[in-house]
Every structure is written in C-alpha cells, then in structure tokens.
Chain A
Amino acid sequence: MKSNKFHIIVIALIVTAMLITSCGQPTPLPTIPPVEEIPAETAEEPVEPTAEPAAEEPAAEEVETEGVPPAITTEDRMGIAVGKYPNQYDLAEFEELSGGKMQFSGRAEIDARLVEIFGDIPADVSERLPEEPLVEVPYYEIGKYGGQFEGLSLGPESGNSEFLSVRHANLFRYGEDLQSVVPYIAKDYSINDDLTEFTITLRKGHKWSDGEPFTTDDVLFWYEDILMNKELTPDLPSYWVFGGEPMVIEKVDDVTFVIKTAAPAPGLMFWLASTWIGPFAPRHFLESKHIKYNPDINAEAEAEGFASWVEYFFTWHGEWVDSVHRLGVPRLESYLMVEETTEYQLMVANPYFFAVDTAGQQLPYIDSTRESYSQDAQVLELKIINGEVDAKSQTLSFSSVPVFKQHEADGTYKVSLIEAGSDGINLGFNATHKDPALAEIFSQKEFRYAMSMALDRSEFNKVLCFGECAEISIGVPIHPSASFAKPEWYTYMTEYNVDKANELLDSVGLDKRDSDGWRLRSDGKRLVIFLNYTIQSVSSDAMNLVKSYWEAVGVKVELKEIATEAYRSMVSNNDHDIATFTSGTVLEPMFISNQYRFTPPFGDKVLEPITGLPWAEWMASDGASGIEPSDDVKRLFELTQQFKVSLPGSEEYVKTGQEIGDIHMNNMWLIGVLGSPPSVMITKERLGNFSPMKITSFEFYRFYPYRPNQWFIIE
C-alpha cells in the first residue's frame, strides 16, 4: 500500500496542470478538435469503387461511338500525329487530328470537404472544364481515379518545393526536353520579332476553384493592384524589370493580354515557365481585402490583430503561388487544400482543373495528396524505407544511397539516381584581395591552374561520393547540360599532377621556401591561405582533403569552420582569401533570365561573392572607384549585356554564351573540385505514369515538367 498523500500530490499536480494550461491558453482550446468529420482514409474508400466504372466509361464508349478520338499515350500514338507541342494538344487540334469528338468524364463523387469550402459544385464535368481544356497525352497508360499521394517534407515551406511541384500550375511549363516552353494554364503564346511584346491567350471558360471565371482581369489585378501597388510591393523585383523599366501588361480581351517590355526580354518566357510566382490572382476574391476596393480594410485588418492591411492581405495571397495556408482562396492548381495542421497538409483534386487525358477524363487522376512533416533527417529516411512515401528526392542526402539500396529489395520502392543540376564543390581565390601581396599571387591564373592540378579528384570522388560523381570542374558558370556547353570547359587543368603544379607555382614567383618547406610570398612572409568555410555549403571532410593536397605542394592552409553569418560578413567586406559558397545553380533556365554568375563578383554580392567586388564597382562607376579589371573581365561584362538580349537558341546566343564560357575556362576564377553528386529519387512501384526525369532541380520546378497530374495509383 502506497502513501495516500502521494496519490493526492499526483492528482493535484495533474489537476492544477490542466487548470493552468487551460487558463494560460484559452483561445486554442476550442480549435483543437479539427472540424473535419470524415477521416481521409474512410472518405476515399467509397469513392474508389464508384470511380472505376467512370474510368472505364470512355473506353467502352470508344467501341460504341464512332466519333470519340482514340485514347492515345506517348508510348502508343495510334497513328495520330504529334501536335504543335509534343505531349499535349489543344482540344480543337486533337479533335481535328484524330477526326473525333471528345466526350468528357470526371470523378464519380465530389469531395464533401470541397463543397464545404467552396460551395456547391456542378456534377456535370463539362460545366467545370474550360470550353477548350488542355488535352494531355499520358505517358504509358490511361490512368484511373483514386488513391492518395503521400509526400514527406521537413516542415511547411521547408524542403517541400518538390511536393508543391506536384500540384503546381502556371501559365507555362518547361517541356519534358527541358528546352522548350509549353503552354499550361495559358492556351498559347506568340512573341514579336523584337522580343518586346508577348501575346498570351487564356482558355475560354476557365474557372477558379470556386466556379468563378478566370480571365485577363485576374492577370491585370495581379499586375496593377499587387505588383505595381507601392504598398504591397515597395521594390519591384528585378525579374519584372527590363531595360530599367517595369514590364507593362495590357488587356486585349477577356482571354488575351500582352506583356510589353522596354528592352528585348528573351528570357521572359523561360522565366514564366519556371517561376514559382503566379502572374494572376483571384480578383473577385481579393478585392475585398485590397485598400483600393475596400477603404475600410485597415480597420478590418486591425480587428484581426494586424498592424496594417498589407500584412493582412499577404495572409490571403502569397507571392509563391503554391504556398497556400488559408482555406477558401480560389486556386487553379490541380489540388486544393482542405486541411492543414502542424503535422500535415491535405489536398484533394481540383474539380475545376483545366486538363483532360486523351480519353476525356478530367485530370488529375489521384484523388488526394498529403504532405506530412518530419523534421529529423533520420526519421525521414526510415519512413521512406518503410514505404510511407510515394516520390521523394529533395533533401535526401547522397550518402544515404547505400541504406536505401539495402532495403530496395524488400521495400516497395525503387531507387534511381538523377542528375541534380548543381555545380558541386567550388573554390574561388580572391584575386582582388585587400593584401596586395596576396592579390598579386591570387590574380595569376597560373597559380589557380596549379592549385587545381594539385587536387586528386579521383580520391575526392571515392571519399565523398562513393566514386559516383563526375571528376570534372564546374568552375565555368554554365552547367554541362546547357545547350551550348563545351565539354573541354569542365576538364581544363583538372588532371592530377603534383609535379606540374609545383612547376607552375615556382614559375609565378613562389619558388622560395622557408626552413619548414612552406612557400614564401614576394615580401618574404610565409604564404598562408585562410580557408574559412561554412558547413552549410561544404563539408569539413572536403575541406580537410583540400588542405592536405595544397600543403603537399608547399602552400600552408589554415582551416576554420565559421558560422554562415560570419562567412557572409567576411565575403561581402572582401576580407576573404578564398570563397567556398556557391548557391543558386548554373542551369540554363536560370542564366537565361539572370546572368549574375557570369560577371564579377560571380555570385550574389551579399552572401556569395567569389572575387572581384572592386572590379564590379569600377565597371558600375565608370572607373570612378574600385579597381580596374583586366580586359577579359571587361569583355565579360560586354558579352553578358549581349547575351541578355539574344534569343535563346539563336546563333548570337550560342556564340556569346560560348565566348563567356571560354573566358571563364581560361581564367579559372572558380576551381571546380568535383561535379555534384546525383540526386537520389525514391519512387513507389504503385505510382503509375511516372516518367524518367532528366534533371531534378528547382530551376525546372522539379516534377512540374513531367506532369504529375497524370500520375495514378496502380492497385
């Protein structure tokens, strides 16, 4: 028998704890039980059996009705010609090429949660589709409705752009070739010869997820009242500015608008195809939250606890089109949020989605998607091994490949390695160092060649990458996957040759050594390189290897790991010996619209300058301040200006691009140590119509070019 008093204590403790927590936190309590009545799993079950006949319906009709076009796939075109864009048709185009008349069908049941959020939804699918829906050609087979796509990310807005790309919908997308721009929400586009006028047409009868029409007015609302509103957008982001002037959007009619730019904007279409920003917003919904249309909005915002209407407005509308956190905001994406907790986000198929497959079934096939959060990388891996995730590559570390492979056999998933498209580990000597003796050494390209040849890239590869990385240098800021890339850019001066490295170092005035064998600078001091790095960009293992290779050729290296903030203040002050941080990759869609990696300081000047901050200053001030750069650097600025206004794929584009690459190769401002490891892609076997990917990277918006809306769950 235990002491009665002890029990009293425990009970008293529990009771007080309950009381106090409920006192301190009165508001959350009523919100705890989610209002949602039907658990997701049980909600799907009734849908599925009824969905199946719906899926077979068009196939049955095909036999009976003469006029229905054949349900083709990209594998089996059944003799129907490829249209203007390879894997999709316009409705009229498809009907003309196939000589049939399409019949549309949709899910048998509309999710009750959607009705609760958006009101009544017409049962007839043709009332929900645009008059001219996009006809998508599925990759391998015509899918069927049902199932839930399980995604996993580190947290809301953290390592989840891949999941967002599953439902992403923008005016355009990159085609599967990752070279062409293909209409998506937009019906089509045309560009004038000067590359200054972009005429874009929308789909007649396209509807927001609340059934209201989506028209040019929604584009204009975004442009006039959000982008050009000084309160909402005090500084216009550079990607909407051409030739120093903001772009202008003009309405032609309800489904046509023109974007006009002050200077040729060859990159604009590519930017529109890959950006996370949706250049449209639901006017009918947001007007009541905008001060121009609702003068009382400040009071309403204050009543909600916000200091001004601006912050309040941004809880309804986000620049990132897929980042949804409020129920009821009309959307165009393939999935709509119905529930959000701190553990997951649940989305269900958009009943107004604008695309159908070749059998006339409204896409997407999969009923719902769920993004669960797991902050811990190990737990994330365990969940994948356990088969709880349908497709995932973002944030998975290459070093986990063996673990995934080990369980591939007994798991239900498949491991594939996909080009990541990033530039790997890079080192950039600061040729504009404040110390004149170091600046003199670092600015000689022979010195940089020598330091590159001192690196044993094959050992690097074995230690850091299981031998799976390409032993190349991506110091040229143009990725090998680019249309005009030259192979020699990535192998120039990369052979491991200690003798040659020593010879080169001797030849640049570093031939004297002290009694410990370290090389001496021209002023007689020992040459010491302070290699300060942040583990956010490079691993300590990699930096220790670098140190050992360079010390083997007589160059003393002092290694120090520092915080990212410290790194940033060091490089933005031009206080660094060597730069190690490169973020923002060098893929084509990126440098088509933004060429900041081409010219000094070869990176964002706050966090990632490599070298040449004073050069950039000299160029910007026409020689008034800064340091005069070499002719090569001046030429680089000139070429970049030309590149900016040349049409991608044109002769001029290739020529200037290649000259830029050549100058970079010769100067080796950045020494690429190793190509980046491939991305690990995990896909469940049950995921149908998942096509092989060329590159997985944010620049192409991850899954978006590979049309996740035609994925389906194989049962």
Chain B
Amino acid sequence: MSERKTRFQRLTDFLSDRLPLHKLSFENMVTKKEVPVHGMSWAYYMGGLTLLFFLIQLVTGVFLLFYYQPTVSDAHASVEYITFFVNSGFLIRNLHTWSSSCMIFCLLVHVLTAFAMKGFARPREITWWSGSLLLILTFSFGFTGYLLPWHQIAVNATKVVLQSIEEVGRYLPGGFANLPTYIKELIQGEASVGQATLSRFYALHVVILPLIFFATLGLHLLSVQLHGISQGIDNPSKKTERFFPFFILKDFWLWGLAFLVVFILALCLPFESFYSYPLFEAFDSLGSTPDGIKPEWYFYFVYYPLEILPFWIVMLGMTFAGAGLFLTPSIFKHTSRKVLSIIASVAAAYLIIITFFGQAIYEAFKGVSG
C-alpha cells in the first residue's frame, strides 16, 4: 500500500492482465476449452458466423478483382460484364452483396448479445475495443464498396453522405468550421464525386481497410482465445460443453448451413431486385438525380433520423453512441447482465423498427409537417 506504482508499472500490469500470453497453449485452446451451456448459448455462434461471412467476402472480393475496373468510364461496364457475361459472374457478385448484408446482420447480433452477456467485462476490454473497431471497419467496407459499381444510386448516395460531412461545419466554432470541408475534400479528392473519389474508395475497400481489418481481427481472436469463453449469465451455469470436438462440430455444421443458404440466395435472387431498375443505370453526371436514392439497409438507423430530425440532434446522438461504444467497459462496469439485456433489447428494437418501418415513419412525419 505504501509504495505507489509508477505509471509504467500500471501500464504493464494492465497489459499482462488483459493479454495473459502464458495461457497460450494447446491445452487451453483445444483440449481443456469448455463452452458454458445456458439459455443464451446460441449467441456464442454469432462471432464465428460473422467470421464465415467475412471469409466469403474475402474470397469473392478477390474473385471480383479479376474483372472489375476502377475508372469512371469503365467501372459500371465492368460490373455489367461480370453480371451478364462472365461464367458464374452473377453468382460471385450476388454472393459478395448477400454475404456483406449477412455479415453486418450477424455482426450486429454479435455486438448486442456480447453486450447483453457482459462480454466486455474485465479482463476482456481488449476484445470489446477491437470488436468495436471491427464494427466500424465493417460499416466502412459497406460504404466504400457501395460506390464501386458507379451507378446512379451509388454515386448520388455517396454524394449525399459526403456533403453531410460538410454540414457538420455549421455547428462548429470559428476555427474548426472549415475542418469538415477539408475532411470531405480529403475523402473526395476533387470538387465533386469523380474519378479521384472512385480511386480512393477502391484503394480503401480493397487494400487499406482489409489490412487494418486483419490486424484488428488478429488481436480480437487472440484476446478471445486467451480469456476463453465468457460465462454469459449472472449465475454461472454448472453445465459446460467441450469445445473440441462438440462445439466446433456444431459450429462447422452451422457454417455449412449458412453458406448453403447464402449460396442458394445468391443463385436465385439478385440483391438488386429490392430496388427499382433505373437506379442501376450508369451514373450520368449531366442528368438529374433519380428518385429513391437511399443507402443500404444497414445505414437506415442513421439515414431515417437524418431525414426526420434536425441534423445537429442526429450528429449529437451519433457522437454519444460512438463514444458510448468504446467506453462501454468503464460505463457498465458494475451493471448486472439483466439491465444490460434490457438495454440491448431496446437497441435491437430500435434497429428493427427503423430498418423495417423507417420509410413509413418518414412518410408519416412528412405528411404531418407538409
């Protein structure tokens, strides 16, 4: 008690507590690993499922690289070529789009359940932080990938998002007011969304984001392996299941099933069938913006609030949500899992309602105000 630890000592203590590398053994990872059995056990599969969809993204993404051309004059034509002329090209492309949506869905369930099961509690902070970063990276993948086909909806939606970055400047004090504009131009690369933007998004989507993703994923998985599987409920259950071979067999079984489902979906149903066709014509810089410009469904949770509420409220909300995500391990340190489950359920309910009924809510609001 009398001796105060130096800052450096505290840092090393923190790290050795969070990354107990001495636990890294075959026994801990395979023969002795146990998975708790209780009502929420199904949630232990969600991370693995997300990983499966990421692997599908990786493989199909590399496949698409063989034919895709990232220039404003050729991008759309090359995507059309892949879709209509390359053998199984439609399949690869559909797999890529379907599996991206599946990945984000599983990821959201994974985050919410991990939160409800207090998977972030000490010593698992690093798992949570790296996971949060993976969440943001995944959304960035979605955003950058959306532009690449260079059709009307892609380019115009990207324009809208980039322009709204500039809007933030209105609410910043004097010296910072121009900062968002610089950021926008840094991302956009030229006065309007054009070749420079496409090249930047391509580089981000294909090289930079994947590299960051791999590193973060490595840390995430390492941390998961070191700490084992979290107990998940407040009163730890006595029943466990051996990870090897039982849990992993079921995990693979689920992977096979999930792959089969996505594969059949990709074979039978083009992802684009959810939008009206003119949106998928090549972007025309001289024409008007077509109706129905919308982001992908997984951005509805921020898109519809932006449509309905004043801009600054949404921005404030997003800032708090983002900060809350990373500060979760300290904010909810002493919260019981029961309360956490309620918070997660509310968040899930919000996501479900805004994703399914966002359009209806938006129309109701517009009907009242106009």
| Interaction A to B | no
Q: Which residues of B contact A (CB under 8 A)?
A: none
Mark A residues whose CB is within 8 Å of B: none
